[in-house]
Amino acid sequence: MRVIHGISYVGFIVWAIITGSATIISRLFRSDYAQPMIVELPMRCATDLEVTLFASSITITPGTLVTAIAAGTSTTPPVIFVHALFEESEESALDGLIDMESRLLSMTRGRAPGPHADPQGGRP
């Protein structure tokens, strides 16, 4: 089961690289090129391996980039700060990241993780 999740995750990353590169190249001659934003996501990843894999997956996808990772404490989860270029709003950027994180945790833990506690980080 874990192997199937791993293969589907690798395919997902390859497809994300191809579509993201096509986005960057095809928007090159439009007048409104990009809308940069830095969003904040409390992670469900717990171990060092999961955090490292998640940060590398975000960075290798064209259009998103990890700028900083804040370490978690005993009560708060670790927080990741992502620089996104081609998203319409903060909600759509966070939805893409949560989808990728769910696929990653299905691969490392062998089962689907629980729903995200508070995707907005307590913000209105």
Partner 1 sequence: MNEALATTLVGIFGITGSLLLLGSALAMFRVRDALSRINVFSPATGLGMPFIVIAAFIYDLYASGFSWSSLIMAVIAVLCLIIVSSVASNTLARSAVLSGQPVFRKTSPNRLAAPPEGVVDIDPDAKDS
Burial of 53 (0-12, 13-18, 19+ CB in 10 A): middle
Does residue 123 belong to the site contacting partner 1 (CB under 8 A)? yes
Does residue 12 belong to the site contacting partner 1 (CB under 8 A)? no
Residue type present at position 20: G
Does residue 15 belong to the site contacting partner 1 (CB under 8 A)? no
Part of the chain binding partner 1 (CB under 8 A), chosen from 1-9, 49-57, 96-104, 107-115? 49-57
Judged by CB under 8 A, the chain residues 63 through 102 that form the site for partner 1 are 63-68, 70, 76, 79, 81, 83, 85, 90
The residue length of the chain stands at 124
Does residue 17 belong to the site contacting partner 1 (CB under 8 A)? yes
Encode burial over 56-66: b for 16+ CB neighbours within 10 A, e otherwise. Answer: ebbeebbbbbe
Q: Are strands 37-42 and 64-70 parallel, antiparallel or unpaired?
A: unpaired
Interaction site with partner 1 (CB under 8 A)? 17-18, 20-21, 24-25, 28, 33-40, 55-57, 59-68, 70, 76, 79, 81, 83, 85, 90, 121-123
